[in-house]
Amino acid sequence: MAKEDTIVRFEDVSFDYGHNKPILKEVSFSVRRGTKNTIMGQNGAGKSTLLDIITGAHTPESGVVHITHGLKVAQARQVIPKEQLEMTVREFFESCFPTKVYDIDPRIDKVLDAVHLVADHGKKVRAFSGGQQARLLLASALIQDADLLLLDEPTNNLDHAGIEHLTQFLVNSKKTCIVISHDAEFLNAFTNVVLYLDVFTHKIEQYAGNYFDTMAQIAARIEKENRKNALLAKEIQANKDKANFFANKGGQMRLVARRMRDKAEEMEEEMVDVRKEDRTIRAFTIPSQEGLIGEVLGISSYKVIKGHKPVVHKAKVSLKRGGHLQLAGPNGIGKSTLLESLANGTAEGATIQKDVKVGYYRQDFSTLNFDDTVYDSLMAVMDKKDEERMRSVAAGFLLSGEVVRTKIGSLSEGQKGLVAFARLVLEKPGLLILDEPTNHINFRHLPVIAEALNTYQGAMILVSHVPDFVAKIRIDEVLDLGK
């Protein structure tokens, strides 16, 4: 492509989040018109911050961000901000524009149709399910008819049909896109450029090709660097051994020994810093509450939403200690609503054994107090306060150093998810309720989390739209709310 097709260019851009928290260090890369770009990187590396720098929400400490004059940029964030949840659908879309749009209603209908969502324009945003809110976020970017779409975790909460529809949209779209996601199959379907944000060097590595091509290139690079270093290490040791041998001979042999040592030092300088891969959380178990006998949870009836109206269905679910139940069904059927009512004890037609401790992983992390530090949040759920135990568990979830003293509201969405899992480990629940636990989480962590849930000895209810993740977990019973 010609140089004029570059629509975004970072030139030696650096950005820090406060003291001792670098995000970008002299980063340079470009985005060309019509490309489908994926941003890869560990939870907390700064992927969402990168998008905010493109929109101008954050200003770099140094360097220059070149944006083509007149370029229209629209961003779909990971979650709808709390202050917008009380808006109506119409107000939500009106807030996407700096000035009043008089033909807003037909434009809303057009973008809602594009994301396969039917919605009353007067309905409150809060009333929509997580998957429906994900569709609203995507529609809010589409309604602006922008040249560049920035999509931050757009598959979160989407069911299979929603992900398929979004994938086809991105494949067929002529627009330039920059996407953050931890869904490898989804990303591979449309990506032709990968921007890898390295959490260790705070640099961006740019790769041409699809997502799996990039993974293969990175693996090959690491293997090559390791192989080169192994050969050099062997030669270095041989020269050091010879140097020691000749040094003991004395006389002219000491000069030979010195040359050998100099050569060994030169080779040590040739050794490359092997590219570090994203760290993965440590294997963990979620201890279950002891002393539970008999039925932990019984469900005789449940409520679903069909045709925008509540409908009650009969059920016969008896969940005992060690029983794993999956709730299935399309977006908007009422899965999250049922989980929430079970967690707070208000579900009609359901009974939970007295004194059962409920561990609730909520998809929007609203069970966390965003004003608490990670330290306070984790200590709060421990029956017996043990700082050493807490710090050990936190470190296993990559929550150490400065992160422990950081307010939860300042963490990335992925880090909030890791805090939520750390709390479950420290809580020791008897009934585990999990609503879309893969959202925002780095794909490298998912096999570790799946194994922890697979071996959980308490009663568990799981909602997830990620088949590969669910396939790794023992499921004893499925309650499909859509049937």
DSSP H or E stretch at residue 419: helix 413-427
pLDDT digit string (tens) for 376-429?
A: 999 999 999 999 999 999 999 999 888 899 999 989 888 999 999 999 999 999
Q: Give the integer Cα–Cα distance in Å for 266 and 247.
A: 19
- DSSP H stretches of helix in 17-85: 47-55
Please answer whether residues 330 and 158 qualify as being in contact, where contact means their C-beta atoms are separated by less than 8 angstroms. Answer: no
Q: What's the CATH code of the domain at 151?
A: 3.40.50.300
Task: Indicate whether 187 and 301 sit together in one domain.
Answer: no
Evaluate whether residue 118 is within a structural domain.
yes
Q: Which of 200, 215, 230 is the last residue of a domain?
A: 215
Whose tokens are 């008897």? That residue is: 430
Please answer whether residues 410 and 372 qualify as being in contact, where contact means their C-beta atoms are separated by less than 8 angstroms. Answer: no
Q: Give the integer Cα–Cα distance in Å for 420 and 433.
A: 12
Evaluate whether residue 287 is within a structural domain.
no
Per DSSP, the three-state class of 65 is strand
Task: Indicate whether 82 and 129 sit together in one domain.
Answer: yes
Q: Give the integer Cα–Cα distance in Å for 127 and 121.
A: 12
Residue 209 is classified by DSSP as S
Residue 429 has what pLDDT?
95
Q: What is the dihedral of CA 211, 217, 223, 225, to 10 degrees?
A: -130
Q: Give the integer Cα–Cα distance in Å for 356 and 340.
A: 16
Q: How many residues does the chain have?
A: 483
Task: Indicate whether 8 and 136 sit together in one domain.
Answer: yes
Residue 2 token pair: 């010609």
Task: Indicate whether 159 and 131 sit together in one domain.
Answer: yes
DSSP labels, 326-365? EEE--TTSSHHHHHHHHHTT--TTEEE-TTPPEEEE-TT-
Q: Give the integer Cα–Cα distance in Å for 397 and 30.
A: 33
Domains: count for the chain: 3
| Contacts of range 263-266, beta carbons closer than 8 Å, 24 or more positions apart | 263/239, 264/236, 264/239, 264/240
Q: Give the integer Cα–Cα distance in Å for 5 and 141.
A: 22
Q: Give the integer Cα–Cα distance in Å for 460 and 325.
A: 6
Residue 19 has what pLDDT?
67
Evaluate whether residue 360 is within a structural domain.
yes
Evaluate whether residue 26 is within a structural domain.
yes
Task: Indicate whether 107 and 205 sit together in one domain.
Answer: yes
Task: Indicate whether 177 and 225 sit together in one domain.
Answer: no
Q: Which of 215, 232, 248 is the last residue of a domain?
A: 215
Residue 276 has what pLDDT?
58
Evaluate whether residue 277 is within a structural domain.
no
Residue 4 has what pLDDT?
55
Q: Which of 234, 253, 270 is the last residue of a domain?
A: 270
Task: Indicate whether 211 and 235 sit together in one domain.
Answer: no
Please answer whether residues 284 and 452 qualify as being in contact, where contact means their C-beta atoms are separated by less than 8 angstroms. Answer: yes
Task: Indicate whether 195 and 248 sit together in one domain.
Answer: no
Evaluate whether residue 276 is within a structural domain.
no
For residue 381, give Cα distances in angstroms to 114, 297, 316, 375, 434. 43, 22, 32, 11, 17
Task: Indicate whether 240 and 123 sit together in one domain.
Answer: no
CA within 13 Å, CB half, 377: 31
Task: Indicate whether 180 and 266 sit together in one domain.
Answer: no
Task: Indicate whether 37 and 130 sit together in one domain.
Answer: yes
Task: Indicate whether 190 and 70 sit together in one domain.
Answer: yes
Beta bridge partners of 13: 27
pTM reported for the whole predicted model: 0.70
Evaluate whether residue 284 is within a structural domain.
no
Residue 2 has what pLDDT?
46
pLDDT digit string (tens) for 315-350?
A: 899 999 999 999 998 888 888 889 999 998 898 889
Q: Give the integer Cα–Cα distance in Å for 89 and 405.
A: 37
Q: For residue 265, how many other CB atoms are within 10 A of its CB?
A: 12
Question: Inter-axis angle of helices 160-172 and 130-142, to 10 degrees?
Answer: 10
Q: Which domain holds residue 111?
A: 3-215
Q: Give the integer Cα–Cα distance in Å for 333 and 331.
A: 6
Q: Give the integer Cα–Cα distance in Å for 470 and 465.
A: 8
Spell out, as residue ranges, where the chain has pLDDT lower than 50.
1-3
Evaluate whether residue 283 is within a structural domain.
no
